[in-house]
Structure 1
Amino acid sequence: MAAPNNAVILNLTISAEKLERWYEGSAREVLAYSVDGRKIRFPVSILRPFVTHSGIRGRFQIVFDGDNRFKSIHRID
């Protein structure tokens, strides 16, 4: 599945321990690489709907608007 130009696809595996540090305020952003190699920085808060007891694991598509601001995130796996 190819992402449109205003979207990126990411494979994320984030442990519950790492998420806990973010929620405690020691970090506010996630730095990840998309499947096509782009470096993406986004607020950890957009992942909240996907958090489980073991953390976050899956393939996601993040969509941005024309000004590169976050618009939506979807699990695609």
Structure 2
Amino acid sequence: MNQQLSSERVYLFSISLSYKRCEAFYRPGNNSVIVTADTGHRVQIPSSRLRTFVTKQGIQGRFRMIINNNNKIVSFEKIG
């Protein structure tokens, strides 16, 4: 039986930012945000991925990001 090993990594993390802090996502030169995953790993996320989740209150919630072996995002979603 030939089993293919998955090279994807899953990161879970929480974000709680006010709308004022989220305004930085739209400024030139602010291309990424660094968060600390539940595992303690520091993960860099393109700020464009977070813009979708900005509301009048900012961003609050739990997120899951899956990246492949080439460090490309396969999935980025709000889970709670």
Scaled to the shorter chain, the TM-score interval is 0.7 to 0.9
- Does 1:27 find its partner at 2:30? yes
TM-score after normalising by structure 1: 0.83
Number of residue pairs matched by the alignment: 74
Query: 1-side partners of 2:21 and 2:31: how far apart?
Result: 11
Higher-Rg structure is 2
Q: Structure 1: 5+ residue runs without aligned partners?
A: none
- DSSP-derived class of the 2:71 partner: coil
Q: Quote the RMSD (CA, aligned, Å).
A: 1.7
Please name the residue that 1:8 is paired with. Answer: 11
Match of 2:56 in 1: 53
User: Contact 2:25–2:51 (CA<8 Å) still a contact in 1?
Assistant: no
| Equivalent position to 1:44, from 39, 43, 47 | 47
Q: Do structure 1's residue 69 and structure 2's residue 72 form an aligned pair? A: yes
Identity of aligned residues (%): 27
TM-score scaled to structure 2, two decimals?
0.81
Q: Distance in 2 between matches of 1:36 and 1:17?
A: 28
1:18 equivalent to 2:43? Answer no
Gaps of 5+ in 2: 1-7
